[in-house]
């Protein structure tokens, strides 16, 4: 259906979507087997929902009956700001500086699917923006958007890894695009830079050691393997992406929704500890930071303050004061 493919490409640009590609559902690779191995090794930590939905992640037909094509899209979120090195603050991952991308990109994909249904009423579809069991990075690579780097994030030759991903599953059979190939080469900067050693080898990530997982998804005390190695991160972590050479090429997105909200690049840790539930809801309304919950945010803030005190005490002892 070339008319449908042309329409999707054209309308996605009109909606402000930066990248779009197409993959045939029948062209599945070995990702399902790799996921099963990763889960069996416990690398998902406490994210039990990943194991529960394993079969659905491996088979898009269980998500939409009669699915033939997966439309993968990418939305650039690079903005010209950097984390300050301010004592007493905790860094926030770039993806959470502005509005919740699930809503921003979700609205655009809903509008795209509505247009498809209006012009091609025989086609059924379903939208996902990190909200369901879709192996989005694997499908994005197969659709030609980029490749999964050694840090396991998707990298685009044009936009680097500062990309939000989303999908539309369609029952229409659309000519697939050429899959992207790997362009990491011999580079291992992301592996070497990871503060906790969470990237245990090329293309292998142990979530239990990942600062992003620990500060966002993990409930309860910070694991001993990560305590003291948070590297100043309050919510998420960008280290493996910050050092990626491909991100030197990334252009600014120009999207107002992804501009940093006040205090969202680096949060004052004592202010976080003093936050009430109402202040938390107000400060992070329509923000990804809600995912960590107030209890999790305070837990991490307390750990960072303790690490800062220990560092200060060590420095004093080293200086003989």
Q: Give catalytic residue positions.
A: 130
Q: How is the beta sheet containing 19-24 ordered, strand by strand? A: 19-24, 69-76, 163-170, 125-128
Beta strand segments in the chain, E: 19-24, 69-76, 89-92, 125-128, 147-148, 154-155, 163-170, 199-201, 204-205, 233-235, 266-268
SS3 89: strand
Measured from the Cβ of residue 300, the count of other Cβ atoms closer than 10 Å reads 24
DSSP 25: T
Instruction: Report residue 124 as tokens.
Output: 């059924």
CA angle 96, 101, 102 (to 5 degrees): 125
Distances (CA, A) of 198 to 10, 131, 166, 203: 40, 24, 25, 11
Q: How far apart are CA 102 and CA 98, in angstroms?
A: 12
The dihedral built from the CA positions of residue 77, 153, 166 and 280, taken in this order, carries a sign that is negative
Task: Tell how far CA 319 is from the center of its chain.
Answer: 42
């Amino acid at each position: 259906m070339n008319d449908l493919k042309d329409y999707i490409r054209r309308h996605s640009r009109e909606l402000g979507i930066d990248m779009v590609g197409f993959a045939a559902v029948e062209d599945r690779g070995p990702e399902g087997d790799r996921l099963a191995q990763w889960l069996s090794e416990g690398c998902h930590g406490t994210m039990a929902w990943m194991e529960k939905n394993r079969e659905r992640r491996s088979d898009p037909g269980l998500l939409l009956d009669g699915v033939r094509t997966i439309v993968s899209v990418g939305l650039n979120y690079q903005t010209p700001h950097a984390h300050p090195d301010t004592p007493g603050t905790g860094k926030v991952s770039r993806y959470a500086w502005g509005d919740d991308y699930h809503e921003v990109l979700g609205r655009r994909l809903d509008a795209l699917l509505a247009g498809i249904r209006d012009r091609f009423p025989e086609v059924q579809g379903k939208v996902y923006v990190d909200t369901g069991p879709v192996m989005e990075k694997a499908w994005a690579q197969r659709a030609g958007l980029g490749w999964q780097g050694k840090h396991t994030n998707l990298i685009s030759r044009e936009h680097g890894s500062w990309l939000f991903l989303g999908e539309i599953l369609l029952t229409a059979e659309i000519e697939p695009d050429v899959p992207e190939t790997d362009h990491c080469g011999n580079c291992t900067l992301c592996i070497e830079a990871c503060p906790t050693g969470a990237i245990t080898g090329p293309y292998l990530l142990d979530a239990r050691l990942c600062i992003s997982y620990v500060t966002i998804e993990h409930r309860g005390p910070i694991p001993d393997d990560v305590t003291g190695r948070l590297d100043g991160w309050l919510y998420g972590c960008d280290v493996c992406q910050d050092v990626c050479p491909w991100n030197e090429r990334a252009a600014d997105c120009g999207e107002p929704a992804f501009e940093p909200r006040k205090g969202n690049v680096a949060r004052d840790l004592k202010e976080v500890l003093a936050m009430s539930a109402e202040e938390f809801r107000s400060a992070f309304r329509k923000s990804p930071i809600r995912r960590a919950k107030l209890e999790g945010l305070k837990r991490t803030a307390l750990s960072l303050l303790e690490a800062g005190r220990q560092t200060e005490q060590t420095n004093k002892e080293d200086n003989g004061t």
